[in-house]
Amino acid sequence: MGPCRKGLVRVNNGAFTVPIACSDHGVPLPATTFDLPSRLCAKTDPSLIADDDRHFTTIAARLDRELAAIESRLDQLRRSPGVSGEAALERDNAIHRLTYERTLLRRFGLDMCLGRMIFAYSGEIVYIGRMGLRDEGGDTLLIDWRAPLAEPFFAATLASPMGLSSRRRYRWSNGRITDYWDEGFTSATVNDTTSLDDQAAFIASLGTSRSGKMHDVLSTIQADQDSIIRAPATAPLVVDGGPGTGKTVVALHRAAYLLYSEPRIASGGGLLFVGPNPAFLSYVDDVLPRLGEDGVRLCTLDDLIPETATEIEDGDSARLKGVLDPEAVIARAVSIYEEPPTASIAIDTMRDEIMVGPGEWSAAFASVDSDVEHNTARDQVWDELLGILTEIVIDTVEDAEPDEVRSFLSQDPELRGNLTAAWPILDPLDIVGDLFSVPAYLSLAAPNLNEAEVACLQRAEARAWTQSDVPLLDAARRRIGDPTDLKTRRRAESEAAAEQDRMADVVEDLIATDDSELMPMTMLRGDDLTGALDDPTGREAVAPDQLAGPFGHIIVDEAQELTDSQWHMLFARCPSRSVTIVGDRAQARHGFAQSWDERLHDFHLDITQVHLSINYRTPAEVMAEAEPVIRSVLPHANVPQSVRQTGAPVGRCSVDEVPALVTAWLADHAEGIVCVITVSPASLSLTATERVSVMAPAAVKGLEFDLVILVDPESFGTGIQAGVDRYVSMTRATAELVIATGESSA
């Protein structure tokens, strides 16, 4: 249907376009941002939208000036003279921040306004936005959705109106408002049904077609979700909820909220968001930028190490690795290579010999800080040993020069050889590989394993990494360090020393040629000027591991699947234990008989647990079919209650009809996506496209599709894993579910 007002033209107000409506006779009508279909003409009454139009005109003008100011500031920064050190870092950070603000303004414009609320006691109208905005006089035009004042917009209910008389939510399309919904909270506004449509905004959004990216749902966050999003990060938070309850929505919006509300998280290393698989991360990777945050690091567990470990390991070996404490295992495995020599050796000191015995070695080895990587600590041991021996020589040899003695001792080949044998440079991959190929070594590193369990973990190809190996590989890298980093650091130190020697020669030459009376060149021998002459910018630097942490907060989605080893790997990156854990015990493929408290008991977490019990995504017709599936394997599963019905029953077809069904559905639906879920994606004669995915059950966690076709669900097998896979697959549907079997639909 067409708009209520005909002949729309646009007056360009700089970067942001304010629409102007005209009558059939070309007479200009008041400016409006509303473009409602004719069936909603009642909502275009000026008494309902005039306040909004005036406010949007003010916002558009302010955004235009704000964008111009950002462009000017960016131009100034980029044209500024070259700087170095801290000043360069500050300029780069300012450019990054301003560039991101410009991107957000260009992306949204007026539609960064989510809605408005009117306070009952004052009649004040407050507009909520993706970011805060003030006019030149300091008056508020938009309240950032994360600000405390914005909380009633999301959290107010009839039972607890939080001081509101009404709330309005907008639906935007191409910079125009195509619909809006009002909710009343007082006796006067509840009875005013002109534009009242309680919950319609949210319910309407649930029925819209999906795409390859998660929908923008910020304006329709519900009260139960908002309370979790805004929960303080003072204690570990567990969010437990069934399929479709908005766990991922809560997790992502909580990430943006915490970075805004708790500066200690940003200053403590930032925020890490861990998802179940790459497809999930691709699905949600645009959510946080839309919320005004681009500093959150998204990854899977496999991303935490550079090695490729895509093979999924099942059975006893995966179970045994899953209960190991990887840090303890690796610490014992590495300790074998950190034993001080027990024999004494005689070394030359230029004038005499001294004995280096177990006492000197033990003192040097004991000087290492516990948190220093093995390969880095080797240099600490060497420096400490040279210091101990230098003191011995100075005490026994008259007129000995410490620097000369230390330099001489450092060249002793036998001393170096003993250190290399007692504290060798290690490769973390070799250490983990040896655990799976040398039974005696694994027995020493993991004494809690019995002989049969040790044998179970041995394999012919030591470095055939699986996903179950990731925690051990990660612990080995953190405990040992990367040998290539050590080489890079030593090369940088060598280059720095060579540069200092070269500059020292230059200084001496300048002083030698200075025949002036005051001889100002002698000042170059001063420490400050000598340091100023040293320029490290051209040297190779060791790039920090962007996922190594520590992080100020970690959010884990689909957390019910994590093993003890994987939890150790994550908590190693978050010493504060400031975490948000999101999951559903009923969706754990390997079972989850414990409570969350019991599951996390060994990590000494005093958790706060909250539940989401309303299914906003999956139609009631689909849940009626899915509930018996999960209860057949988990009788006490927490199955959420659906809030909507589509009227479409679960369909049935034969497997050979699937391609034709997909083709017909795409022809009937200009928008929306389809997923065909099967245990053998490669065997299905169906080509994946932008709107069609063919996936295995384990890969669809956290995703959603308009149409789900479940191929031969009985082929998933029996037991808990098969039942969970069927349940998860069925509940990915937001509109329709079709079950395809080997039997003909006729």
First vs last C-alpha separation in the chain: 40
Alpha helices in 482-547 (DSSP H): 483-512, 527-533
Please, are residues 23 and 29 in contact by the beta-carbon 8 Å criterion?
yes
Please, are residues 652 and 745 in contact by the beta-carbon 8 Å criterion?
yes
Residues 6+ apart with CB under 8 A from 693: 673, 674, 675, 676, 705
**Cis status of the peptide bond prior to 413, with omega within 30 of 0:** no
Angle at 106 between CA 105 and CA 110, to 5 degrees: 60
Cα–Cα distance for residue pair 115/220, rounded to 1 Å: 10
Query: Strands, E, within 94-198: which ranges?
Result: 113-119, 125-129, 133-134, 140-144, 164-173, 176-184
The three-state DSSP-derived secondary structure of 17-40 is EEEEEECCCCCEEEECCECCEHHH
Phi, psi for residue 412 in degrees, rounded to 5: -70, 120
Residues 6+ apart with CB under 8 A from 741: 652, 654, 655, 712, 713, 714
Is the torsion defined by CA of 53, 57, 59, 63 positive or negative?
positive
- Least Cα distance to 690 among 669, 673, 670 occurs for 673
Cα–Cα distance for residue pair 729/676, rounded to 1 Å: 9
Cα–Cα distance for residue pair 681/654, rounded to 1 Å: 16
Residue type present at position 475: A
Bridge partner residues of 22 (DSSP): 28
At residue 718, the 3 state secondary structure works out as coil
Cα–Cα distance for residue pair 344/388, rounded to 1 Å: 15
Q: Would you say how long the chain is, in residues?
A: 746
Cα–Cα distance for residue pair 289/277, rounded to 1 Å: 20
Residue 743 CB coordination number (10 Å):
11
Residues 6+ apart with CB under 8 A from 307: 429, 465, 473
Return binding residues for ATP: 241-248
Please, are residues 35 and 19 in contact by the beta-carbon 8 Å criterion?
yes
Alpha helices in 159-246 (DSSP H): 187-190, 200-206, 223-229
Maximum Cα–Cα distance for the chain, whole Å? 111
Return binding residues: 241-248
DSSP 27-94: PEEEE--B--BGGGGGGG-HHHHHHHHHHHHHHHHHHHHHHHHHHHHHHHHHHSPP--HHHHHHHHHH
DSSP 243-267: TTS-HHHHHHHHHHHHHHH-HHHHH
Give the tokens for residue 686.
């169906």
Residue type present at position 238: V
- Least Cα distance to 176 among 291, 60, 23 occurs for 60
